[in-house]
Amino acid sequence: MSLVIVGSLAFDTIETPEERKEKIVGGSCTYCSLAASFFTTPKIVGVVGEDFPQETIDLFKKRKIDIQGLEFAEGKTFHWEGLYGHDPNQRKTVKLELNVFADFKPQLPPDYKGADYVFLANIHPELQEDIRVQFTNPEWMAMDTIAHWIENNRETLLQVLEKCNLFFCNDEEIKLLTDEVNLLKAGKKILEMGLAYVVIKKGEHGALMLGKDLVFGVLAHPCEEVVDPTGAGDSYAGGVMGYIAMTSSHSAQTIKKAVVYGGLVASFLVEGFSLETLKNLTLDNVEKRKNIFRSY
Amino acid sequence: MSLVIVGSLAFDTIETPEERKEKIVGGSCTYCSLAASFFTTPKIVGVVGEDFPQETIDLFKKRKIDIQGLEFAEGKTFHWEGLYGHDPNQRKTVKLELNVFADFKPQLPPDYKGADYVFLANIHPELQEDIRVQFTNPEWMAMDTIAHWIENNRETLLQVLEKCNLFFCNDEEIKLLTDEVNLLKAGKKILEMGLAYVVIKKGEHGALMLGKDLVFGVLAHPCEEVVDPTGAGDSYAGGVMGYIAMTSSHSAQTIKKAVVYGGLVASFLVEGFSLETLKNLTLDNVEKRKNIFRSY
């Protein structure tokens, strides 16, 4: 069934203790849609400036990603600069240039409106809400966010969240959102808002998925060299949503499998710079790692 | 085969955000031997003062723990006072009264010396070394420690460690010991010292076991209410060592199963005050949780 992914397309400048990459293509929608494309043919909603590389647009087309909802605006593409320390779980935003995102007023193309599955990837909660209301009757909606919006736009964020079926977050974000350090309790608070599932990503420790009467844990694939964690969370969600859309099911059994696949896709992402990795990754690689993953 | 456990017997004063418990029975040897007693009949080495309760001695006897190596000294039992914050993974030592431990010069009873399995639970590394050399030819030796000894007695600790087959630590301790933030790399550094396995406990995130060409991950049983984490690590190790001694095997397959059992025993411990929990826990409870644990 059809999946629409809404999010950012960006240039990322990334500095890790080992190297610095200037303005490489990134963005939540970019990572998420490429990850989802292993399982389904997502439609995307976002905005890019005149400087966004044709090569990436060609990659979207090659992966059969529908770009009707992608706006090509005058000006520069959104630019984020981040700094990772010795601990790859901690990052600092050094610079944030909204550029074309500043005036983005998304309009869903007509044949996006009836989408069955909707994923609101990380962007400003106001934008998530503006887009959300344009869908006629989605069967299943999920969202992601970051600590920045929880701290600064909590009210709008909660408004979007309570319309969702599934929430993706990391441990830090859910603690911040619920003011609860225990992840089971924090997850239950989210479920009490009416959501069916919460997926709490825990970096190297894997993920915890909670639903009504359901606790499901997944280990992370062991990784010795975290090259760049940017996009891992987005590709995690993309893998999960792609798998759900592919199977056209949101039973607990499907979501469990989807969470395993999402984690596997993300495990490749942290081992290199994300777009390069997503370009070269195949579903066959993912399946192979699934087998290794199961055996340990 | 025979298992000797060396460690502390103590009074613990524990303050958590919810309550304060004055001088309840604790100590690494206490927790560890009671946990191991679900699987085998351990022999213990340690020292208690005149104030140590007969009730606990009776509990050891009831659980068929051999107390020939337990010295009853004049004076007071070792006393530790600790404070847990909102995050149960962080604790502060408020007071440490060595008492009878200050002059403890352990002598192994003759029929302990030929032990097949030896576990050096957390005590001063000098004491671990003094006792270690008294064993004639143990088949398999393991140790545990805490950050305090890594910071203050690193050299002696490493001397004991390189004679061991298995090292129990938590994520904080192994990072401190190896100066390496990635747990796989940190674990490999320990294996390079000649050990066969390292078990890295990660609290609510479970445990990671590393061996030559082996990475094995275990999820922690989900827990909403951490009442008191004291003794969880000791009972974890006790469960593992008890299981290994029971099966008389230290194949990778056995150690994997042992690590699962150790985690299960420890999962009960954090849910209450440890000695009370260990008194009431049965192997049947543990087995039942194993089934729940597998299904999620």
Spatial distance between the Cα atoms of A240 and B287, rounded to a whole number of angstroms = 33
- A67 touches A5 (CB < 8 A): no
Of A181, A208, A296, the CB nearest to B217: A296
- A203 touches A170 (CB < 8 A): yes
Which is higher by pLDDT, B116 or A250? B116
ipTM score for this prediction = 0.81
10-residue mean pLDDT series, chain B (296 residues):
96 92 95 97 98 97 97 97 84 90 94 97 96 96 95 97 97 96 95 97 93 90 87 96 94 92 94 89 91 60
The pLDDT value recorded for residue A144 is 97
Spatial distance between the Cα atoms of B101 and B74, rounded to a whole number of angstroms = 11
Going by DSSP bridges, is the β-strand pair A207-211/A214-218 parallel, antiparallel, or unpaired?
Answer: antiparallel
Q: Is B183 helix (H, G, I), strand (E, B) or coil?
A: helix
Contact state of A86 with B181 under an 8 Å Cβ cutoff: yes
DSSP B4-58: EEE---EEEEEE-SS-EEEEEEE-HHHHHHHHHTTTS--EEEEEE-TTS-HHHHH
Which is higher by pLDDT, A22 or B296? A22
- Detail the DSSP E strand segments found in chain A: 3-6, 10-15, 20-26, 43-48, 66-72, 79-84, 91-97, 117-120, 140-143, 166-170, 197-201, 207-211, 214-218
Q: Is A274 helix (H, G, I), strand (E, B) or coil?
A: helix
Q: Using the 8-state DSSP alphabet, how is residue B164 labeled?
A: -
Contact state of A219 with B216 under an 8 Å Cβ cutoff: no
% residues pLDDT > 90 (chain A): 80
- B167 touches B187 (CB < 8 A): no
Residue appearing with tokens 């951490």:
B226
pTM attached to this predicted model: 0.88
Burial of B98 (0-12, 13-18, 19+ CB in 10 A): middle
Closest chain B residue to A86 measured between Cα atoms?
B181
The pLDDT value recorded for residue B296 is 47
CB within 8 Å of chain A, chain B residues 72-111: 86-87
Amino acid identity at A225: E
Residue appearing with tokens 């080992």:
A18
Amino acid identity at A286: V
Locate B83 and state its tokens.
């404070």
The pLDDT value recorded for residue B228 is 83
Best probe of the A interface among B191, B204, B292, by most A CBs < 10 A, is B204
- Tens digit of each residue's pLDDT (9 = 90 or more) over A116-152: 999 999 999 999 999 999 999 999 999 999 999 999 9
CB pairs < 8 Å spanning A and B: 49
How far apart, in Å, do the first and last CA atoms of chain A sit?
Answer: 34
Residues sharing a CB contact under 8 Å with residue A261, sequence separation 6 or more, in sequence order:
A39, A239, A240, A243, A286, A290
